Amino acid sequence: MQNAFGEPQNILVLGGTSDIGVAIARRLMAPSTKTVTLACRRPETAGLAVASLTRPGVVAEAVEFEATDESNHVGFVRALVDRTGDLDVVILAFGQLGDQERLENDPASAADLVRVNFASAASIALAVAAQMRKQGHGRLVVLSSVAGERVRKANFVYGSTKAGLDGFAQGLGDSLEGTGAGVLIVRPGFVHSSMTAGLEAAPFATTPDVVADAVASGLRTGRRIVWAPGILRWIFMILRHVPAPLWRRLPLG
């Protein structure tokens, strides 16, 4: 349970090898933090992330979590709560970027990406929300993307999954109003990370630590949506209204 200062005792990262997810967890750690759990498909690959979160008095560990095993999501949440206690902050950070050209020519692969990024994310988010509603507190941090604010042709499969997840998270947050629990939606731009390694950086590219700072500020001030960097909010206020023929010609990658 969070203390009187809103500091989390237990933090869960779904997608525990995510550079952004780990950076957020690290930024949110406080003297009251007792456990940080990194849930990922292959826990053995999360050693460096676990080490970066290890502190005196803090149990940092990686546990197995398969996002596409939706039938086990409720059981996973219950088992974790039984072991660590209430979920104070849960960071939903798993997802796949994919290669647009390959996805356009391989519908089955596109469907797999849609399942991971949207259907599986929605499933575990509902399981977490049910637990937080029961607790009467907790914040679910959902990593969306500016790619979903207005989907562009260069990555429309990925972008559409983020658009769906963003809308889902908004509705989920509304459904939790008055329960003591809530949802914080994070809309980063291009983030330098292992997921984007080798890709040409987009304008206003940022880092996992900058995203983590935005999340910490958003949680502290009770925001429902944060952008990273913040200037993207104002840019997309304009871009979302650009006529479609012009939008298709913009050099946005």
Q: Which residues are catalytic?
A: 158
Can you list the pairs that 2-7 forms with residues at least 24 positions away whose Cβ atoms lie under 8 Å? 2/32, 2/88, 2/137, 3/32, 5/30, 5/32, 6/219, 6/220, 7/31, 7/32, 7/33
Peptide bond connecting 229 to the previous residue in cis, omega within 30 degrees of 0: yes
Q: In whole angstroms, give the CA distance from residue 85 to residue 35.
A: 9
Collapsing DSSP to helix, strand or coil, 199 comes out as: coil
Return the residue matching tokens 């040409």: 200
